Amino acid sequence: MTANIPSLLTMMIPSLGLAAAIDYPSTRKADVTEELHGTKVPDPYRWLEDDNAAETKSWVAAQNEVTQSFLKTVPHRDEIRKRLADLWNFERTGAPQEYGGKWFFTHNTGLQNQSVLKVSDTLDGEGRLLLDPNTLSADGTVALAHFTPSEDGKLLGYSISRGGSDWNEILVRDVATGKDTGDHLQWVKFSGISWAKDGSGFFYSRYDAPPEGAALTQKNEFQKLCFHKIGTPQSEDQLIYERKDQPKWGFGGGVTEDGKFLVIHVSEGTDPKNRLFYRPVDGDKVIELLADADAEYDFIGNYDSVFYFRTDLDAPRRRVIAIDVTKPERSAWKEIIPQSKDLLQEASMVGGKLVVEYLKDAKSAVTVYDPTGTKVRDVDLPGIGSAAGFHGREKDKQTFYTFTGFTDPGAIYRYDLDSGTSTLWNRPKVGFDGSSYETKQVFATSKDGTKVPLFIVHKKGLTLDGSHRTLLTGYGGFNISITPAFSVGRAVWLERGGVLAVANLRGGGEYGSEWHLAGTRLKKQNVFDDFIAAAEWLVNEKYTSSKKLAIQGGSNGGLLVGACMTQRPDLYGAALPAVGVMDMLRFHKFTIGWGWEPDYGSAENPEEFKALLRYSPYHALKPGTRYPATMVTTADHDDRVVPAHSFKFAARLQECQAKDGPPVLIRIDTSAGHGAGTALSKMIDKTADEWSFLEAVL
C-alpha cells in the first residue's frame, strides 16, 4: 500500500520516434466518500492532502523521479535551457522611487536569482547596494517581497518571503549604514507597509501564529491591522483595528500623503466589492465611511477632507468620484471623471493631476486630467502594448511608467507632468529581435455568441497550413486583466517556431465588472466556453491542428486548463496546468481558499455545488478517456493553492488515462511557492522542462 510500487504503462511518443515505457508510481486509493446535498462524492486520493505525511513525501519523490527520467530523454532539453539562460542574462532595472531626496530602485545584473535593491543620491546615479536577498539563502529562495522607505528616506521597511510562501517577515534597515535595526515582525500575509509621517513606525496587517506544522495549510482568518513602533518588539505592537465578528474581513491600512488620515481598505476574500473606513492619524475612532460593500472603491488620494476614489458604483467600466468626508451623504458626492466606453483600469494622483490608465480591448491608453476632471491631454505611448506606473506625490514634477508588449522587452520612461513629454530613462539590452515577429488581435465567437479577444504572436510570413506548434494561454478570473507583456520563456517558444495565443476570457477584468461577473459562480462555464472557442478558432483558421495545440495556465488558469482538457480532451495535443485549483469542492478548506468563493461559489450552497461538481477537474475525469499529454506543475511551499490540488488531479489523471494514451506527469518543485519570488534558476529550469515536454509530445 505504499506510493512507490510501479505499474507499467507503455506509450508511443511520436516526436521522439520511440516507445517510451513509463513506470508510474502506483498511488493508493482509499475508500473515502462524502455525501454533499444528497450526492455521494468519492475522494480516493484525499490522503495526498497531508503534505507532512511520509507516504505523501514518498509519492512526491517517486513522481518527480518519473518526470525527470522522461524529460532526460528529450533531445533538445539542454539546448532549450541554455537559450533560456542566455536570453534571461540581461541587466534589468526597476522604476525609481524618490524618498527624502534619495532614489530607490531594484536591479538585476542578469542571472541573479533575486533582484537587489539599490539607493542613489541622484536619479541617474549607479547607486549603492542597500539590500541583496541573494545573501539570505544558499539557493536564492528568499525573496524581497515588498519594500517601502520612510518619508525622509532614512529607514527602509521591507518584507521577505522564504521558499515561495505567502507568509512574510518584515524587517527594518537603516539606509545610511545598510544595517538592520533589529525590528522583526512575523506572521504577516497580504500586507503592505505604510509609514507614519514622522517615521516613528508603520502600519501593517498580520494573522495570529498558526499551530505547529500547519503554516502552509491552515485557514487564514481574523486578520488584524497593527502599528509597529520602531525599536520595540512585535509583542508591543498597537492593535489598530480588528473584527472578531468578521473572520473573513481583511484590512489594509495606508497613511494619506498629507499624513492626516489612516485609510483602511476592508476586503472579504477576492470580492471586488469592498468597504472603506478611515481614522484621523491623531485620533482613535475608526469611521465607517463606505460600509455597505455595494461596489469597488479604490482610494486614489485626497485634498484635505476630500477623498478621491476609483469605483464601479453605477459604472461597470469604472469612474472617479470625490467624497468630502465632512459631508459623507451620498447626495453630496461628486463625479470627477465619468465612465467611458473603455475600462478605467487605474488612476493615480501625482503632481496636482489625475493620471488615468484605460484598457481598449486589453491594450493601454493613458489620459491626464486636472483634479476637477477636466481633460489635460492624452499620453503619447510608444506603441500598442501595456503601460503601468504613473505613481508619485503632490510635489512631483515628473513620474515614471513602464511600457511593454509581447515582443518588446519594454522600457522605463520619465514623464514630464507639465509638458506632457516622455523621455526614455532605461531600456534593457535583450538578445531577442522582436522585429521578426508580428502581433495581431482577433475575436473568436463563444458558445453564446460573445466575442472573445485573442492576441496572436508569431514569426512574420507564417503559412497557415495547420502545422505549427501553438501555445494557447488564458486566465479568466478574479477581475484580472491579461494585457500584452514580454516573457523570456515565451520569446524562446517563438524563436523555436511556436505560435503564441493569449485569450481574454470572461471572468477577467478587461471590459469591467459585467465582463467579470459573466464568468463567476453559476456562470463560470462561460470562461471555459470562451477558451474552447479560442482553441477552435486557431484550428479552424489553420494556425495549428488539435494534435499541435497546447494549452497552459496557472492558478485560476490552471483550473481553466484542467476544466477544458476534461471537457474537450480531443481538442488539444498537450496541457500544462500549473498550481491549479483542481478540487472545486474543498478549495475553501485551506489557507486563503475561502476567499475565492465570490468568483467560484461554494460547495456549501446546493445550487453552486452542482455547478462546481460538473466542472471540477479532479471530479470530471473519466476512466479510459484519452486525455492530452499533460505535465502538471506545482510546488511544495505553495500556500496559496495548496499542492494537494495538483497531487490529487495528477493521481486521478494517471488512473483514468487511456492505456494507449500519451504521458501524464507531475513536476513538483521544492523551496518554491505559487510563483512570486521564485528563484530565477528555478524559473529557467521549469520553463525548460515545459518547452521540452511540449516539443516531445506535440
Which residues are known catalytic residues? 555, 674
Integer Cα distance of 611 and 454 in angstroms: 27
Rg over CA atoms, the chain: 25
∠ Cα 169 172 174 (to 5°): 155
The DSSP bridge partners found for residue 109 are none
Q: Tell me which residue of 539, 355, 379 sits closest to 464, measured CA to CA.
A: 539
Q: Tell me which residue of 472, 489, 528 sits closest to 505, measured CA to CA.
A: 528
Element (DSSP H or E) covering residue 130: strand 128-131
- Three cell numbers written together for 277: 473606513
Integer Cα distance of 369 and 192 in angstroms: 28
- Three cell numbers written together for 244: 472578531
Q: Tell me which residue of 567, 530, 572, 568 sits closest to 552, measured CA to CA.
A: 572
Q: Taking a C-beta distance cutoff of 8 angstroms, is the pair 607, 581 a contact? A: no
Count of Cβ atoms closer than 10 Å to residue 502 Cβ: 24
Locus of grid cell 534558476: 681
Beta pairing, strands 97-99 & 319-324: unpaired
Beta pairing, strands 92-93 & 97-99: unpaired
Q: Taking a C-beta distance cutoff of 8 angstroms, is the pair 338, 310 a contact? A: no
- Three cell numbers written together for 83: 537559450
Q: Tell me which residue of 4, 14, 26, 6 sits closest to 661, measured CA to CA.
A: 14
Task: Please provide the DSSP assignment of 617-650 as one string.
Answer: HHHH--TTB-PPEEEEEEETT--SS-THHHHHHH
Integer Cα distance of 23 and 308 in angstroms: 61
